Amino acid sequence: MHPNTTENTVTVPEGVDAELLGKVLSNPEMAAPLTSLAKTMK
């Protein structure tokens, strides 16, 4: 196990399927546009 897993923890809002979100973000084709969008929102 990783000793510092808390720094990689995300709070998922109510009503969001955490497992589905994890699957989407683990897919590079889906993660790339979401990452790009997140950078423009900062």
CA distance 27 to 32: 9
pLDDT at 25: 85
User: What domain range is 31 assigned to?
Assistant: 16-42
What residue type is 35 in one-letter code?
T
Instruction: Flag whether 37 is in a domain.
Output: yes
Instruction: Flag whether 11 is in a domain.
Output: no
Tokens 């790009």, residue located: 36
Instruction: Flag whether 8 is in a domain.
Output: no
Number of domains in the chain: 1
pLDDT at 16: 92
- pLDDT tens string 8-38: 677 888 999 999 988 988 999 998 998 899 8
Q: How far is CA 28 from CA 2, 22, 31, 39, in A?
A: 23, 12, 5, 16
Instruction: Flag whether 4 is in a domain.
Output: no
Confidence (pTM): 0.52
CB 31 within 8 A of CB 25: yes
Asked if pLDDT for residue 2 goes beyond 90, the answer is no
Q: Which secondary-structure segment (H or E) carries 23?
A: helix 18-26
